[in-house]
Structure 1
Amino acid sequence: MTAEVVTPYATRVLAANPGPMTLDGTNTWILRAPESSRAVVVDPGPMLEEHLRAVLEAVAPATVDLVLLTHGHFDHSEGAAWFAAQANCPVRSVDPAFRIPTDHAHGLAEGDVIGADGLRIEVLPTPGHTMDSVCFWLPDDGSLLTGDTVLGRGTSVVAHPDGALGPYLESLESLRAFANSPAGVERLLPGHGPVIEDPGAVLSFYLNHRRERLAQVREAVAHGHKTAEAVVAHVYADVDPILWPAAERSVRAQLDYLNG
């Protein structure tokens, strides 16, 4: 759990929670402007005290101004309350359930700008993986933190019923347009997996993959596979069955989209 300096503004501490859905583990991101003594921590991760203390040690001697959550899944958020108590800082998230203090008036919304001693973070809502998903843009660094909206390896799940395919496709389209704009997106810093150095190409792949899967689901239904379980067995026959429960969530989202 050593800290890895990825860019002048972003340091990663990898949580020891590897698995089929978390890949190598959850990436906790420490954001700080060069030479600054104030930091923002994104996605403290699961409630693994050794990991959370490693994040605190990586921040020191700087102080943590704020914790941000890309979304509420426990592998990103479970340790947030403990970490915030140790760092004596608030937590901001789209979902009020994770905000600290609990009556915190400031969630995360489009157009929000968060600053910390030379660090500028812009909030980009990206619902779909979950409806509370957001990305964080660092314009001075060229980095976009994507949470689980885009992973560093493979593709993400539309986490039905918390997520929905229509908004997810719209979010991917928006992110691709942003990545291909003059904004200067140099890399994606995902919630799991390695850094992505070709954002536009990966986002195009994500969109094409989703559309191909949707066509496969539509064809499966036309051939009589009516339930999510039956569609998964048909469409994901070449995928490790350990991933079928996650695939079923995406298929349920696809079926809702087709029936909508």
Structure 2
Amino acid sequence: MTHATDLPGQPRTGAIGGPATDRATCVLAPNPSPMTLDGTNTWILAEPDSDLAVVVDPGPDDEAHLRNVVATAEAAGKRVALTLLTHGHADHSGGAARFAELTGTHVRALDPGLRLGGEGLGVGDVITTGGLELHVVSTPGHTADSLCFHLPADGAVLTGDTILGRGTTIVAHPDGRLGDYLDSLRRLRLLAVEEGVTTVLPGHGPVLDDARGATEYYLAHRAKRLAQVETAVENGHRTAPEVVAAVYADVDRALWPAAELSVRAQLDYLEEHGLI
């Protein structure tokens, strides 16, 4: 499950769905909500001259959507040869088992419980299918099993829920940890600075055309929220619900339960660093 607060000021570009780069096409799942934005972005990746494709995050267990992903690949002359997961939340992975049946593919993930076919994903792995090259990037924080996929040929990175196309994601306490998440954002910023990554292909929301700007926005946002949480505690708001009411007053109340997970992660972070 994805959780997002809709905040202004992020760089963004393009409509959701359809071709995004030379090698990446988005198929939008029909699961819009305050938590999933417009729905889950399922990504079909392939070299232009290859007949093999990789699918990242088949999405929820929705038969029509899964068949649409297969049909979209086939319409482009591609056969799905491999399925990858950025993490285990059901809006990304719930349809993986059925999708594997439809395509006859293995499902590779960091979490052994999500793998089908025996082979997992490890940090630093390089996936080559049909000439396509994807580098596995460790990005825990949103969840412990979160990964991103660097697509060097397009100067792009698939971020799952680590960076969204609109708004900000949560740190899904207790599985997600704020310190890990901040390190992951810095790692993605280095990809932009040192590896020429310009494009973010997110798990929800539109494509972003300024990867460095997006990571710096997220880091600044997290620093601001952390300072607000620290101030709220100093002002006597001790429980997570109290802190949410004080800090997230500008956010739709429907998202407060999700915000509370981030607050719990922030409180843990502040305690671990001796700041409260």
User: Fold conserved (TM > 0.5)?
Assistant: yes
Equivalent residues, number: 255
Is residue 231 of structure 2 the alignment partner of residue 216 of structure 1?
A: no
SS at match of 1:67: strand
Q: Secondary structure at the match of 2:238?
A: coil
Q: Secondary structure at the match of 1:21?
A: coil
Number of the residue aligned with 1:90: 106
Contact 1:40 1:66 in 2 (8 A): yes
Structure 1 partner of 2:245 = 233
Contact 2:56/2:85, CA 8 A, preserved across alignment: yes
Q: Which of 64, 67, 77 is the matching residue for 1:53?
A: 67
AA aligned opposite 2:50: S
* Distance across 2 between alignment mates of 1:5 and 1:211: 34
Please tell me whether the aligned partners of residues 198 and 212 of structure 2 are also in contact (alpha carbons under 8 angstroms): no
Q: Are 1:118 and 2:131 an aligned pair?
A: yes
Could you tell me whether the CA contact under 8 Å between 2:26 and 2:41 is conserved in 1?
Answer: yes
The amino acid of 1:255's aligned partner reads L
Q: How far apart, CA to CA, are the structure 1 residues paired with 2:234 and 2:215?
A: 29
Deviation track 1:62-111 (CA, whole Å, cap 9, x = no partner) reads 2211100000000000000000111001000011111002xx1x322221
Match for residue 68 of structure 1 among 84, 104, 122: 84
Q: What's 2:95 paired with?
A: 79
* Rounded Cα–Cα distance in structure 1 between residues aligned with 2:127 and 2:27: 21
Scaled by the length of structure 1, the TM-score of the pair is 0.96
CA distance in structure 2 between the partners assigned to 1:246 and 1:213 by the alignment: 14
Q: Which amino acid aligns with 2:171?
A: V
**Aligned counterpart, 1:254:** 266
Q: Work out which of the residue numbers 183, 202, 207 in structure 2 matches 1:195.
A: 207
Q: Measure the CA separation in 1 of the matches of 2:184 and 2:236.
A: 31
Aligned runs of 1:15-34 on 2, under 5 Å? 15-34=29-48
The whole-number CA distance in structure 1 between the counterparts of 2:71 and 2:242 is: 48
User: Deviations for 1:15-63, whole angstroms, at most 9, x for unmatched residues?
Assistant: 0000111100000000000121100000000011111000000111422
**Structure with more relative contact order (C-alpha pairs < 8 Å, separation 6 or more):** 2
One-letter identity of the residue aligned with 2:72? A
Percent same amino acid at aligned positions? 60
Partners of 2:47 and 2:131 within 8 A in 1: yes
**How far is 1:186 from its partner?**
2.1
Q: Does 1:8 align with 2:22?
A: yes
CA distance in 1 between counterparts of 2:156 and 2:250 reads: 34
Structure 1 SS opposite 2:80: strand
Cα distance in structure 2, aligned partners of 1:54 and 1:44 = 10
Could you list the runs of 5+ residues in structure 2 that have no partner in the other structure?
Answer: 1-15
Residue number in structure 1 paired with 2:149: 136
Q: Does 1:108 align with 2:108?
A: no
Q: 1-side partners of 2:17 and 2:152: how far apart?
A: 23
- Give 1:232's aligned amino acid: V
Q: Does 1:35 align with 2:63?
A: no
Contact 1:3 1:58 in 2 (8 A): no
For 2:133 and 2:191, locate their aligned partners in 1 and report how far apart those are by CA, in whole Å: 17
**3-state SS of the aligned residue for 1:180?**
helix
Query: How far apart are 1:3 and its partner, in Å?
Result: 5.9
Give the root-mean-square deviation of aligned CA atoms.
Answer: 1.1
In the aligned structure 2, how far is the partner of 1:140 from the partner of 1:23? 28
Structure 2 distance, partners of 1:13, 1:91, is: 18
